[in-house]
Structure 1
Amino acid sequence: MAFSFTSYQPAPEFSKSAAYFSMEFAIDQALKTYSGGLGFLAGSHMRSAYELKQNLIGIGILWSFGYYDQGRQEDETLRVDYVQKHYSFLQDTGVMFEITIHNAPVKVRAYYLAPEVFGTCPMFFLTTDVPENDYLSRTISHHLYDADLAARVAQSILLGVGGGKLLDIIGRTPEVYHLNEGHGLPLGFYLYNKHGHKLEEVQKRLVFTTHTPELAGNEEHGFKLLDDMGFFAGVSGEEVRRLGFVEHERVNYTLTALRMSHVANGVSAVHGRVSNQMWAGNAGICPIIHITNSQNGTYWRDKQLHEALAANDTDALKARKRQLKQELFKEVANQTGNVFDPDALTVVWARRFAGYKRANLILHDFARFEALVRSSERPVQVIWAGKPYPKDYGAIGLFNDLIKRTRHLKQCAVLTGYELQLSALLKKGCDIWLNTPRFPREASGTSGMTAAMNGALNLSIPDGWIPEFVRHGENGFLIPLADLHEHDDTKDAIEASGTLDVLEQEILPLYYGNPAAYWQAVQTAMREVEPQFESGRMATEYYELMYNANVPVVK
């Protein structure tokens, strides 16, 4: 059968058909199919593909309980809640088919997100949570990034094999398959089966994006478990070994994807270099270029701010920014009882919560930090937000520690519910967007792009996309890096001190003492972040450098 995309006609320059496979998509606050930056990136890609009318289809999973809902315990610390989601705006395609997981048939139903609903390219979401399945099979699509290893493997099979099979069933077989991270790797083996067990035929069609040097983003599991689960889509274990995908009885998703693709990309210039260094020396991998991540301006930018910018009306820009701060501060008061001042410098740290991102770096010298935020002469307000992985007890402990350590400070707030809606409030309502990852572990990072679109200045470690954008003092600020060879504790101390140095010695004198220069820097950042870091550029580069690339197939 063929599914009809009646409302979507691709532009001639993007006529080559492609399908984009991602474990998460942050499309809209109403659709809970994301956890963090990977989803935010994928959502912006789908929106820009729609605006450019690219011949692209998004393939994801319909998570029955989303990632999780972030609430508070009685003592204000983090509580993980799971609430089942229902979406009337998704269309049941009527397509149901079987895939095999652990030698058992599992039914898959496909839902369609039409382009006109949220302004995306056509998208399909797969679920196993249907009455025709037993309970265990239904749970495969319950929780994004399920903590159970077998469930995670099953989710990869659902995305890769299920997505590939769906496209064949509906008659929309693409010329290019794009794996956004290694989660959907079983797609490569599905294509290998489909194209006569010829690796070169898979390589002609497959491209791959690696998003992080972090171990969690480069999954590696035991070969026997994967083989038993059906990860290899019917390709025998002997053949998987012969292809060279098994090393020390384990299979690395990223390395295998690099061997099954004809081109891959890192997600910033720094990450492109790091990725090439990480995987150098491994035989049979494809070239790794870089395409810097970006975010969709139509979705993220505040219209009134940009109207004021276009009119060179600094007074209107300042007035609108003050309104946006007041809107954010209503949420701060609602959650914490603290009433913030819209005229005070407001610093925000908000993103996926992980240890290497160092949410607490600014608290390293707590006495100095406390003096900073308690100042009546040059007041500073600080807000944190972000979702830890629900089983990352270290990150959850860090989140809760932030609450406990700053509870007595009326100038500080730790917010829960970090999803698209709160993210937008924070980016539009802050003055300084703080980014403190341990270099070089932040592959790209995109939150600072959308903050800059909305009149905030980045204060950041020079990692990920930041070196491609920030000119210190002109459109943002850089935190000096410690020597890479120092111990992590020493690095933290040096970079924490550097963060406060830049705040105390450069940003505060500018904000309070030379507002004309401060607002000039804000407007410079707003103008320069687009179009270089707007996802229309990124989506175009994927076509030009990946989908249409005439790259020799790896031998």
Structure 2
Amino acid sequence: MKPTAYFCMEFAIDQPLKTYAGGLGFLAGSHFRAAKRLGLPLVGVSILWSYGYYDQVRDREGRMKVEYVRKYYDFLTDIKLKVPVTINGATVWVKAYKLEEDVFGTCPIYFLTTDIPENDYLSRTISYHLYDSNNLTHIAQEIVLGIGGYKVIKECENVKLFHLNEPHGLPLAFKMLEDYGLDYVREHLVFTTHTPMPEGNETQDINLLKNMGFFSNVDIKTAEKLGGNPFNLTVAALRMSKRANAVSKQHKKTTDQMWSWVKDKCEIISITNAQDRHYWQDKIIKEAAENYDYEKLRERKMELKKMLFGEVADQTGKIFDPNVMTVVWARRFVEYKRPYLPLYDEKRLRKLLESNKMQIIWAGKPHPNDSQGQMTFNWIVSKTREMKNAAILTGYELKLSKLLKMGSDIWLNTPRKPCEASGTSGMTASMNGSIHMSTLDGWHVEWAEMYPDDSFTIGDGVNTDDAYEADCMYKELEKAAKMYDSDAWWEKVANCVNHIVEYFDAERMVKEYAEKMYK
């Protein structure tokens, strides 16, 4: 493959480095760990968020609360490089730090910051918060990532190809267009689209972008031909790239329909997301499953559940029983993923919980300015406070995610089709013997087709009504509860652990990127 620079707003590399919000970052982390093991010439570009995404804590009544705590990292290398970018007519200095390969076992990543003394206060705040809700700050962040990152890479690396992981770094493409022309850009740029949701397919006022410096010195008529007016970042990325990819077979169908009207777009292929088993998978679970040693598998699962339940007890004061089937709903807390669905028929849920056939745990972070998401989270706090065998945890980051995946029996996924482009949390749960239960969206469509007996499927993928899919979900949970802790259950668990890594391991995904995108 060609030496490639991978531009991404977030990287979830390891718990100490808090530069991520959710799945996009988790995926980038797995990509870079697997690429390092395979010896691929890949280098990352991201932003060093001074306050991370945010710290999810509790207020005095146990409800979630947003806190911002400044982060310090002594394991990043100061490479003594600052580059200028022009934002809204003013010069902003961008300083680069480097995450060396040996720190966490990844390909190298350059982290950019504007939070340095050379800049005024407003300029310093550009790199304060990941996915800042202020639109002008958000555009400035995209300019820092795209143009600042491009200049840093030009100074430090011999790169032949540029990969936009989501369109946030699109100013990079316009800087290349200014320097070398459109034909050059279309030979040296590839693009991954990760979601059909409007938030990931950003539309902006074209004059605002021009004034902010988003297009470098490219004239506005050229920009309009590429992205339209109002300007759509995804459309421009599709027109400026050599090739693009969707992140599951189901997502490719959705993407083809969404962008069928876009003329002159590049080819869109499918590369299904995957996760890094070397980082996520418990070794004892892996070994026991390979040997179909149900006794060892059960013994280790009980140990992992006890570790998770220590966290549950610490946060909520509830003592969970490792002998009871444990269901986890944990991911980015957003409406289309329907965190409320397990509570859709509260009487039916309570019947399962009070009969000691099931325990359930929620976790996840809404956006710090998503008041509806925070209200849903706190509604679940209030619902579970006195509900038997139910809890909701705060602080959903890599460490807690791993604990939940290792300690759960069912990983519950309830997206509204076709909103989930891929989703990957269920892959890493399955690697640890937590059986995926999901609607027919994202990666689960492929998993259910490959090994229908290794998961539980909610509904038919046609009727996406809440009432219908909630009913199907309860039926699947009831079926799972009857089966739990039998030989048939542990056979299903072992098959799940063994089969998931055949296709949904990051090394397969990274090899596909190398062959289909980076060649």
Q: Same fold (TM over 0.5)?
A: yes
The correspondence of residues 21-36 of structure 1 with structure 2, limited to 5 A, is 21-36=7-22
TM-score (norm 2): 0.98
2:294, 2:487 within 8 Å by CA — same for their partners in 1?
no
**How far, CA to CA, are the matches of 1:140 and 1:22 in structure 2?**
16
Alignment of 1:144-293 (within 5 A): 144-170=130-156, 172-195=157-180, 198-241=181-224, 244-247=225-228, 249-293=229-273
> Matched residues in 2 for 1:483 and 1:493: separation?
13
1:492 aligns with 2:466: yes
Q: CA shift at 1:473, angstroms?
A: 6.0
Secondary structure of 1:372's counterpart equals helix
Q: Is the 8 A contact 1:17 1:174 kept in 2?
A: yes
SS in 2 for 1:547: coil
Compute the RMSD of aligned alpha carbons.
1.1
Structural mapping, 1:4-403, within 5 Å? 14=1, 16-170=2-156, 172-195=157-180, 198-241=181-224, 244-247=225-228, 249-376=229-356, 379-403=357-381
Q: CA deviation at 1:262?
A: 1.1
1:466 is aligned with what amino acid?
H
8 Å contact kept, 1:332–1:415 = yes
Structure 2 match to 1:479: 458
Stretches of 4+ aligned residues off by more than 3 angstroms: 481-484
The answer to whether the Cα contact below 8 Å between 1:357 and 1:436 also exists between their aligned partners in 2 is yes
- For the 8 Å contact 2:286–2:498, the answer to whether it is kept is no
8 Å contact kept, 1:473–1:521: no
CA distance in 1, matches of 2:384, 2:86: 51
For 1:50-85, what per-residue CA distance to the aligned partner results, in whole angstroms no more than 9, with x for missing partners? 110100001100000000000001111110000000
Between the aligned partners of 1:212 and 1:106, the Cα distance in structure 2 is: 31
Matching of residue 507 in structure 1 with residue 485 in structure 2? no
Q: Quote the sequence identity (%).
A: 49
Deviates more, 1:77-86 or 1:230-239: 230-239
Secondary structure at the residue paired with 2:442? coil
SS in 1 for 2:194: coil
Q: Does 1:525 align with 2:496?
A: yes
CA distance in 2, matches of 1:478, 1:311: 27
Aligned to 2:383: 405
Q: Is the 8 A contact 2:458 2:472 kept in 1?
A: yes
Cα separation, partners in 2 of 1:246 and 1:508, compared to 1, 3 Å: closer
Decide which of 470, 475, 484 is 2:448's aligned counterpart: 470
Quick check: 1:441 aligned with 2:412? no
Superposition deviation, residue 250 in structure 1: 1.1
Mapped partners of 2:325, 2:39: distance in 1: 41
The DSSP-based 3-state class of the residue aligned with 2:453 is coil
- Pairing 1:537–2:508 present: yes
Deviation at 1:483, TM superposition (A): 4.0
Counterpart-to-counterpart distance in 1, 2:158 and 2:173 = 14
Q: SS at 1:409's partner residue? A: coil
Number of positions where the alignment pairs a residue of Structure 1 with one of Structure 2: 518
Distance 2:516 2:412 in 1: 32
Counterparts of 1:422 and 1:457, CA distance in 2: 18
Q: Secondary structure at the match of 1:108?
A: strand
Residue 213 of structure 2 aligns to which amino acid in structure 1?
Answer: G
Give the Å deviation of 1:314. Answer: 1.8
- SS of equivalent to 2:273: coil
Separation (CA, whole Å) in 2 of partners of 1:85 and 1:157: 23
Distance, in Å, in 1 between the alignment partners of 2:453 and 2:328 is 20
Give the distance between the partners of 2:73 and 2:96, measured in 1 at CA. Answer: 13
Read off the aligned partner of 1:211 and give its amino acid letter.
H
State the shift of 1:482 in Å: 6.3
Match of 1:7 in 2: none
SS in 2 for 1:439: coil
**Residues of 2 paired with 1:525 and 1:203: CA distance?**
41
Q: Judging changes above 3 Å, is the alpha-carbon distance between structure 1 residues 26 and 222 closer, same or farther for their aligned structure 2 residues?
A: same
SS at match of 1:188: helix
**Aligned residue identity for 1:191:** M
Mapped to 1, the partners of 2:21 and 2:466 lie a distance apart of 27
Q: Is the 8 A contact 2:326 2:360 kept in 1?
A: yes
What letter matches 2:201 in structure 1? N
What residue in structure 2 maps to residue 417 of structure 1? 395
Work out whether residues 482 and 495 of structure 1, in 8 Å CA contact, stay in contact via their aligned partners in 2: no
C-alpha separation in 2, matches of 1:452 and 1:44: 16
C-alpha contact (below 8 Å) 2:84/2:92 kept by paired residues: yes
> 1:91-122: CA deviations, max 9, x gaps?
00001111111010001110000010001001
Structure 1 distance, partners of 2:298, 2:326, is: 14
Residue type matched to 1:335 in 2?
Q
Whole-angstrom distance in 2 between the partners of 1:286 and 1:36: 28
The offset of 1:360, in angstroms, is 1.1
SS of 2:448 mapped into structure 1: coil
If the length of structure 1 is used for normalisation, what is the TM-score?
0.92
Contact 2:290–2:498 (CA under 8 A) maintained in structure 1: no
Deviation at 1:510, TM superposition (A): 1.0
Report if the CA contact (8 A) 1:482-1:494 is conserved.
no
In structure 1, runs of 5+ residues without a counterpart are: 1-13, 549-555
Deviates more, 1:172-181 or 1:473-482: 473-482
The amino acid across from 1:245 in the alignment is L
Using the alignment, how far apart are the partners of 1:407 and 1:482 within structure 2? 33
